[in-house]
Structures are given as structure tokens and as C-alpha cells.
Amino acid sequence: MATPAPYHFSRRIRATPRSFIREILKVTEKPDIISFAGGLPSPAFLDAGGVALATGEVLRKEGRSALQYSTTEGCLPLRRWIADRYARRYSLEVSPEEILITNGSQQTLDLVGRIFLNEGDPVGIEAPGYLGAIQAFSQSMPRFCPVSLEPDGPDTAALARVVREDRPVFFYCIPNSQNPSGITYSPGRRKEVVGLLSGEETLVVEDDAYGEIRFDGKALRPLKCDLPDRTVLCGTFSKIVAPGLRLGWMCAPKEIIEMAITAKQASDLHTSIFSQLVLARYLEEQDIDAHIREINRAYAARCTLMVSLMEELFPREVTFTRPAGGMFVWLTLPPGVSSMELWRRALEEKVAILPGTPFYTDGNGDRGVRLNFSNADPETIRTGITRLAGVLEKYLRDIA
Ligand code: PMP
């Protein structure tokens, strides 16, 4: 029998890494495994009742237009809501024309890559960096220029060098409760980053997925406030309402939005108008600020519990971040300890963690581990961290 002809996939898709998280989640979905590997919001805050109410009203009041094709820009009331919130929270004045509704902020990242990057173009990115962004930008086959993160933000000397020598098209960053590290840029680092990039051709792609998930409830102004014409700000409803709605946005100067609209038309014409109308109605009816306060109270308690158990039980050589928001803690393992090996050992004890390597674009990161605290209840956190402490202790003994 003749051998079938091979499939010739494009170079760009072959250059794109498969999401390691999705691969890991397949293993960790088993009910007897305690998983700190994923990045899911707590199901307790997915308001099915409120969404059901809004859905019924949309269908009754908007009728068939809720089920028709719609504009690429997205539903105006929703874009107005986003613009008003920026004005109220941060005194950031943008018009609805500077906002494009997307299928989650993941699509914003995909659009950013497609409108700005040619093959081989330099891109500045935090190390460790958000896996989904690495994946989205990889499709354009860029040259990543990593800038390592320190406890209060990026290594600004390294960023200055990258900007001067590599001249990246943009610097992709998550100044608030970064994924995966949990780090928040300090006011000083923010000022330095703004200073370094003002007057430069390098744009800022600022991912503010966790801007509302701040345990002290205080709003931290986006870098965009200081670099309005040079920043593409990415936002999402996934962490404050529900990821299943797949609703996020791009906030950028109009010229950039216009290009993104063209790119979005080519991929999906527009984001589901039905989802958008339901969310717009939901936001009108519900007290979203009270909802966000509740999320923050619960995540703060989970984070504090996880960190204090690690302080109490983990070997002293293991260090970790102390997040002030978001959903993740980042561990740094001592020299000679591999996160991949720790992942295997932890899984034997039915605990799933996320090894650090996929968060780096240069093959580093094997001493990093990401742990999620938003999706596990306090009892699960206690059991899981206690087990992980045992695994770490044994691993350190084995290699001593
Ligand atoms: N950016 C960051 C930093 C994230 O953590 C996530 C979700 N893991 C996203 C973007 C994408 O989220 P969504 O597409 O649901 O808005």
C-alpha cells in the first residue's frame, strides 16, 4: 500500500508551541488530584442566576437582533461602560471608538501579533512571561527579547538595553499581579518603564487582566495613562464576570483599532452579539463593584492561607512571591532542583503544579513553579500544600 502524502503545515503554526497548560490539565482533571496547575476563577463567583436573568431579558427585549450578525467594533453600550470605568477608576479618558470588543483578551493578543509583527521582528517580553501571549505572538515567528522580572517589576537596566539594542516593536507587560509570577510593579518601576519608553518607537502592550483583582481594593493606574498614544491596553471580563462569555477588549488609539478591526474581520467577523448584550444587561442590573469586592475578599483569604502554609511547611531554600492580587504565586526552587522533576513527583502524590520552563522564551525557568490559589477551597489548599511540602522535603533529601 502506498504511504499517504505528508501534510504540509505552515511554518507559522509549526513555530507555535502547544499550550503546556492545556496538556497538563488533561492529566489533572481527574477528581482525586488536587490541582494548583490551572488558572480558573473560583466557580463560586460565576453568577449563573444573574446571567440567566439578563439572558431572558435580552431575548424578550432585543428579540431577533440579539441573534443577528453585528458590527466588528462591538456593542456600543458595552464599549461605553468600559470607557466610563476607565474614566472613573483611573481618570483615563478614552472614547468608545478607542475600544474594540474581542473574544477575550486572548484574542486581543492574537490581533496585536497579527497587526504589528513580521517574521523575525523583536518583541520585548517579561521573563517569566504569560504563556498565552508567548503562544499568540509565536504565530508571527518573532524574535523574543526577554526582560527578567525582579520582586517589584522588570529589570529596568535590562529593559533599557533591550530597547536601545534590539529596538522591539513592543514591550508586552502585565504590571498588575502578573501571570505567572504574581508580581505587581512598584510605583518607582512604573515611572522608570514609562521614562524608558517615552519618545521611543517601541510600543507598550499592557495586559491588565488582573487590574480589578487587587486585595486592598485600590486601583493602580495603567501605564497607558502616561503613554496614551503609545500603549495598547488589553482588558477582560473573564476574571470579574465569567470566562465562558469570552468577552474582552482592546483599548488603543483609533488608528490601531482600525487595523485590529480588519484583522478581526478576517478571523471571526465579530464577537458574539448575544454574549455582549447579555453582559451589558448584566452590568446594568447587578452591583459589579460589590461582586468584585467579594471576589477580592475570597482570593485574598486563599492567597494568605497558601503563603502562610508555605512559610510554615516548605523547606527554607524554597522562596516565593507574596501577591497583592491576581490568582498566582510563583516559587523559586533551590539550585539543582528541577520543576519538571518536582511536577512528576508531586503528581505521584496527587498534587498538580505548573513547571516554570514554558513561561520562558529562552529555555530557562526550570527552577520556577506557578501555583494557582483562586480555584481551590481553603481545605484543599491546606491538604495540597501539606502534600507538596512533603514532596519538596523528600526531593531535597534525595539530592543532598
Ligand atoms: N492575559 C492574561 C495575563 C491572562 O492570565 C489571561 C487568562 N489566563 C488572559 C490574558 C486571557 O484571558 P481571556 O481571553 O479569558 O480574557
Q: Which pLDDT tens digit goes with each residue over 250-304? A: 999 999 999 999 999 999 999 999 999 999 999 999 999 999 999 999 999 999 9
Ligand 1 centroid to residue 136 C-alpha, Å:
11
Percent of the chain with pLDDT over 90: 91
pLDDT of residue 400: 87
Ligand 1 centroid to residue 62 C-alpha, Å:
30
Band of residue 24 on the pLDDT scale cut at 50, 70, 90: confident
Report whether pLDDT(95) > 70: yes
User: Is the CB–ligand 1 distance for residue 207 below 6 Å?
Assistant: yes
Residue nearest to atom 4 of ligand 1 (CA): 209
- Average pLDDT, rounded, for the chain: 96
Ligand 1 centroid to residue 106 C-alpha, Å:
6
User: Is the CB–ligand 1 distance for residue 128 below 6 Å?
Assistant: no
Question: Contact, 233 vs 251, CB < 8 A?
Answer: yes
User: Is the CB–ligand 1 distance for residue 238 below 6 Å?
Assistant: yes
Domains of the chain, residue spans:
14-46+290-399, 48-285
Ligand 1 centroid to residue 2 C-alpha, Å:
45
Report whether pLDDT(359) > 70: yes
14-46+290-399 belongs to CATH 3.90.1150.10: yes
User: Is the CB–ligand 1 distance for residue 315 below 6 Å?
Assistant: no
User: Is the CB–ligand 1 distance for residue 179 below 6 Å?
Assistant: yes
pLDDT of residue 26: 75
User: Is the CB–ligand 1 distance for residue 106 below 6 Å?
Assistant: yes
Q: Which residues contact 207 (CB under 8 A, 6 or more apart)?
A: 105, 109, 130, 133, 172, 173, 174, 234
Strand partners for 328: 372
Ligand 1 centroid to residue 228 C-alpha, Å:
22
pLDDT of residue 4: 84
User: Is the CB–ligand 1 distance for residue 174 below 6 Å?
Assistant: yes
pLDDT of residue 1: 66
Band of residue 161 on the pLDDT scale cut at 50, 70, 90: very high
Side by side, the strands of the sheet bearing 328-332 are: 319-320, 328-332, 368-372, 354-355
Helix (H, G, I), strand (E, B) or coil at 311: helix
Band of residue 104 on the pLDDT scale cut at 50, 70, 90: very high
The sign one gets for the Cα dihedral 298, 303, 306, 311 is: negative
pTM of the model: 0.96
Ligand 1 centroid to residue 191 C-alpha, Å:
25
14-46+290-399 matches 48-285 in fold: no
Ligand 1 centroid to residue 223 C-alpha, Å:
18
User: Is the CB–ligand 1 distance for residue 110 below 6 Å?
Assistant: no
Q: Which atom of ligand 1 sits closest to the CA of residue 238?
A: 15
Question: Contact, 105 vs 248, CB < 8 A?
Answer: yes
Q: Which atom of ligand 1 sits closest to the CA of residue 178?
A: 3
User: Is the CB–ligand 1 distance for residue 130 below 6 Å?
Assistant: yes
Percent of the chain with pLDDT over 70: 99
* Closest of 118, 65, 26, 100 to residue 259, by C-alpha: 100
Q: Which atom of ligand 1 sits closest to the CA of residue 103?
A: 14
Query: Residues 220-259: pLDDT tens digits?
Result: 999 999 999 999 999 999 999 999 999 999 999 999 999 9
Locate 238 and state its grid cell.
473573564
CA 293 to CA 296: how far, in whole Å?
5
Query: At the topology level of CATH, where does 48-285 sit?
Result: Aspartate Aminotransferase; domain 2 (3.40.640)
Q: Which atom of ligand 1 sits closest to the CA of residue 327?
A: 5
Report whether pLDDT(175) > 80: yes
Query: Residues 204-223: pLDDT tens digits?
Result: 999 999 999 999 989 999 99
The average pLDDT across 358-386 equals: 95
